[in-house]
Structures are given as structure tokens and as C-alpha cells.
Amino acid sequence: EAGVAQSPRYKIIEKRQSVAFWCNPISGHATLYWYQQILGQGPKLLIQFQNNGVVDDSQLPKDRFSAERLKGVDSTLKIQPAKLEDSAVYLCASSLAPGQTPRRTQYFGPGTRLLVL
Amino acid sequence: AQKVTQAQTEISVVEKEDVTLDCVYETRDTTYYLFWYKQPPSGELVFLIRRNSFDEQNEISGRYSWNFQKSTSSFNFTITASQVVDSAVYFCARVDFNFNKFYFGSGTKLNVKP
């Protein structure tokens, strides 16, 4: 079974530029998550989708970050404009939907390492 | 706050030594799940184990074992006879039962030297 796919793996941009990350979850997983992981810290949830609806985006900096999950499968996370403090690893994860077991286990992709100069 | 605390920032051991990684959590929920993930240098978080709050039995999987103690809100992870390939950052996490929201600890970096 294929895991969570993410691209690109690495991205270097200058501040004020825009960048987009793509995620393809495990087939059949209705719930998709985007996390930001700053060096030396644990992952921090940015946004959670259930199919194509947003469940939780309370920690998403909405003035510069946006995310969408069209058709309830793939998702994109965008930063516009980027700031120096956005340098981090952006992780995508997916899990089964409520009612399915073991739904609370999240499976993570390899992440995108973003460096903002 | 419903925090997960991993007090050990970094641990170094020599191969074949046993090592225990500590995890202490806070919660107001009566039902919750606890997880351990491994993050090797490649960056991907690898799922290791999930336990629910109703099951306090310790679990062993090969060289890995977990000790869940609800009375002390701890979920410690022991690697027996450590190997160089065990070198990674290990994260403990607690999940909100109703909303499936993960609370991660800050991680413990394990260095296993040959």
C-alpha cells in the first residue's frame, strides 16, 4: 500500500515570495492534516480536513497561509508571502474517517523542507 | 493545558545498551489515545504504537516495550539492546478523542553510538 506522498521535498525561496506544497494521502483516508515542524520542536497542526471540509484551522495564519482539498483527495498548502519564520518542515498526514478503525492513527508523509532566505 | 512533556531533550547511549524515553501527558479527558512516533534523519514520522486509555497492559514488540501508567500519566518507551539504526528523534503524542487532534511532545533525540 502506498504511503502519503508529498512534493516537493525541498524548497528554497526568498522572503515575500509565494510557495505551494502538494500532498496525496493514503487511498481511502478521508482525514488529511497539515503540520508545521520547526527545527527542534514537535509538529504543530495547521489545518485538518475531513473529506473536502475544514475541521480545524485554528492555528493556521490565515493572512498568509491557505489550504484546499478539492474533491476530498489531494491537498495543497500555500504560503503567500513567505516570511523568514516560515522556514520549517511541512508535514502532511492522513487517517481513516470517523467510524472506521483504527481511525486515530495518523500516517505521515516525508515532508517538505522549506528554507526562506 | 493539555500538554505532552518529553523532558529528555537528547540521550546518547552505546550500542547494546537499554534506553528508556519518558513521556508525561496532561488531559481532562477520560478517554484518549497515546502514540509514539519515530522520526529518522529522512524526516518522515513513522508510527510505532497506539494505546487507548482503557488498556494499561504493557506491550512488547521485539526490542521495543511500552509502559503505560495512568496513575502517573506516563507512557514510557524502552528500547532493549539498542542499535545504531535506532538513532532518531522520538515523539510521544496524545490524541483528543472527539476531534482527533494530536498534541505532540517536543521529542527526544536518541543517539546510539557503535
| A51 domain residue, yes or no | yes
| Contact flag B99-A56 (C-beta cutoff 8 Å) | yes
C-alpha B45 chain-centroid distance: 12
Instruction: Flag whether A104 is in a domain.
Output: no
Note down pLDDT in tens along chain A; length 117 residues.
Answer: 689 999 999 999 999 999 999 999 999 898 999 999 999 899 999 999 988 899 889 999 999 999 999 888 999 999 999 999 999 999 999 988 765 555 678 899 999 999 999
Q: Which residue of chain A has the CA closest to B47?
A: A107
CB contact under 8 A, B100 and A31: yes
- Amino acid sitting at position B2: Q
B82-97 per-position pLDDT tens digit: 999 999 999 999 987 7
- A114 phi, psi to nearest 5 deg: -105, 130
Model pLDDT, residue A3: 92
The C-alpha cell at A95 is 487517517
A24 falls within a domain: yes
Q: Which domain holds residue A41?
A: 5-98+109-113
Q: Are the beta carbons of B107 and A48 separated by less than 8 Å?
A: no
pLDDT greater at residue A98 or residue B56: B56
CB A109 within 8 A of CB A6: yes
Report the gap between the CA of A108 and the closest CA in chain B (Å).
6
Q: How many domains is chain A partitioned into structurally?
A: 1
Contacts of B104 (CB under 8 A, 6+ apart): A42, A43, A44, B4, B91, B92, B93
Residue A78 sits in a domain whose CATH number is 2.60.40.10
How many C-beta atoms surround the C-beta of residue A36 within 10 A? Answer: 20
Domains and CATH numbers, chain B: 4-113 (2.60.40.10)
Domain for residue A103, yes or no? no
